Structure 1
């Protein structure tokens, strides 16, 4: 069901509470973290899915992985829907908002993303080797050949892309589908991070076994990625033309990643690149030491705009009902 059936004030308050909890306390302990549970289930299944060597067209791995993805997604949806229903059925409105806020929080991760980007910049202040090592916590690419500029570029690109994956998209699907929507998105994004590789990773060949997970994440991220770019464009306060954002979005091979990364590059006036793959805002200047903090301030304004948009959207949905 796409629309909230009760007063919009409750989910709106839950959304705000989730962000407040995130700001004050960050991530819950791993034993209590639902995304950690998702990752463990995906890891256990993935170890039995992907072959240990490169293969040709492997429809068996593809369909088996698709079936397991759907089964795990169904479990996630059922549990999230059950918890949401129990909250609405047995708690007063303030209790529902508190419980939904607590349950929504682990499905988004703004504070952790912010802290990790700042940690990369802080590590670079010590040495290039330290900056590379800290960046390796954030990205899957090989960081050993990156110079100081490339490390900063990678951190800002990761901030922009994960602003969508870790904040905008979970909240977008929460507004549309409630807690099950946010949980399903977080599952799909985690599955893509663990399975959605076009070749060898961790001693397994994911070209076919990971294809369903990668495409599912692309579909669920399609609208949020463009919304993230729109929010960054708005947060730039007229410094960026929307047609330029659209142009930059087509530079990357990803159908979604180029939108927030291109908007961020243009808003900061900097050049962002992945060697041998893409260059965003090629006419921009080189990334400097203070640009990570500028990017974080821009992202924070985008999140504030998202919250206001979400509240208005929930009110409109309720009024429409």
Structure 2
């Protein structure tokens, strides 16, 4: 294999630096670039909203297209140091693995201390599930499921898109995922307007979610699990989840941790009955900590793969 073009090396090393920045600094409490994008997207929605799929598609094109163009413009410099710095900043901005791990650890702390009120108050940092009536087992399950799914959404997927599409891929993916969280809901307002954002997010996460599942299965021995069992649960249960992507992540984590995920979830006035995945007991606070360790291992493995792919680009 020949040496990678200078631009590819700069981007690859920049992505590696961005992973390191996320590991050290995590997400800023104020002024996060993703939050600023969300504010701008919400302002634009007031002008683009219409109860049609076409209006939602226009909204997605404007939001995602603008950040992709911004990424392309920012990474055009011929100076490899400048290109690497832009890649590092963009990678840090779109990754959320360290913050995800800290939120999971905080939930484990609350549950181990018997502080259900604190855990219920903290859960919205991880997911949109109604925590008001959840007990320890339900809170632990919600946390493990969120860690599993967000390992793909907040770590593996942006790295995949950064590896194959550079800085525009990093920023565009995070825009797609953020729009899905904002408007991709099945409710009266967004049933049609949010359709494009939700479907594009499904497409963008198809490969990363399956890579997450594979890496989680391979990493099972790192958390006392069996790679063979995790792979079996992934193959048996991954497709049973209502999400075409989240199920792959959750099933692999269930198998790797030897726990059972899935069941009844309450989101405000909406109740969902999800198929169970895995064969073990319901997760506990200790399993939350194991899920965080597994997520961290998956993230580092994905970073290594992404850097190698970018070097070949």
Q: Same fold (TM over 0.5)?
A: yes
Q: Is the 8 A contact 1:50 1:206 kept in 2?
A: no
Q: Name the structure 2 match of 1:55.
A: none
Alignment pair present for 1:255 and 2:244: yes
Once residues 249 and 93 of structure 2 are traced to their aligned partners in structure 1, the CA distance between those partners, rounded to angstroms, is: 22
Q: Is the 8 A contact 2:48 2:59 kept in 1?
A: no
Once residues 213 and 183 of structure 1 are traced to their aligned partners in structure 2, the CA distance between those partners, rounded to angstroms, is: 15
Shift in alpha-carbon separation, 1:65–1:7, aligned structure 2, 3 A: closer
Q: Is the 8 A contact 1:164 1:224 kept in 2?
A: yes
Q: Name the structure 2 match of 1:54.
A: none
Once residues 158 and 13 of structure 1 are traced to their aligned partners in structure 2, the CA distance between those partners, rounded to angstroms, is: 30
Q: Name the structure 1 match of 2:63.
A: 72
Match of 2:193 among 209, 214, 234: 209
* Residue deviations 1:146-179 (CA, integer Å, cap 9, x gap): 1110100101110110101101000000000001
SS at match of 1:30: coil
Once residues 283 and 235 of structure 1 are traced to their aligned partners in structure 2, the CA distance between those partners, rounded to angstroms, is: 18
Once residues 300 and 282 of structure 1 are traced to their aligned partners in structure 2, the CA distance between those partners, rounded to angstroms, is: 21
Deviation larger for 295-304 or 188-197: 295-304
TM-score normalised by the chain length of structure 2: 0.88
TM-score normalised by the chain length of structure 1: 0.86
* Residue deviations 1:108-165 (CA, integer Å, cap 9, x gap): 1111111111111222224212111110222112111211101001011101101011
Once residues 20 and 64 of structure 1 are traced to their aligned partners in structure 2, the CA distance between those partners, rounded to angstroms, is: 39
SS at match of 1:136: helix
Structure 1 residues 201-240: aligned runs within 5 Å: 205-237=189-221, 238-240=227-229
* CA root-mean-square deviation: 1.9
Shift in alpha-carbon separation, 1:78–1:282, aligned structure 2, 3 A: closer
Q: Could you list the runs of 5+ residues in structure 2 that have no partner in the other structure?
A: 222-226, 265-271
Give the Å deviation of 1:94: 3.7
Alignment pair present for 1:122 and 2:109: yes
Q: Name the structure 2 match of 1:15.
A: 15
Alignment pair present for 1:177 and 2:165: yes
* Residue deviations 1:219-256 (CA, integer Å, cap 9, x gap): 11111111111111111143435343122111210011
Q: Could you list the runs of 5+ residues in structure 1 that have no partner in the other structure?
A: 52-57
Structure 1 residues 1-321: aligned runs within 5 Å: 6=6, 8-28=8-28, 30-31=30-31, 33-47=32-46, 58=51, 61-86=52-77, 89=78, 91=79, 93-124=80-111, 125-200=113-188, 205-237=189-221, 238-275=227-264, 276-315=272-311, 317-318=312-313
Once residues 312 and 84 of structure 1 are traced to their aligned partners in structure 2, the CA distance between those partners, rounded to angstroms, is: 19
SS at match of 1:85: coil
SS at match of 2:262: strand
Q: Is the 8 A contact 2:22 2:96 kept in 1?
A: yes
Once residues 241 and 149 of structure 1 are traced to their aligned partners in structure 2, the CA distance between those partners, rounded to angstroms, is: 21
Once residues 59 and 140 of structure 2 are traced to their aligned partners in structure 1, the CA distance between those partners, rounded to angstroms, is: 38
Shift in alpha-carbon separation, 1:49–1:294, aligned structure 2, 3 A: same
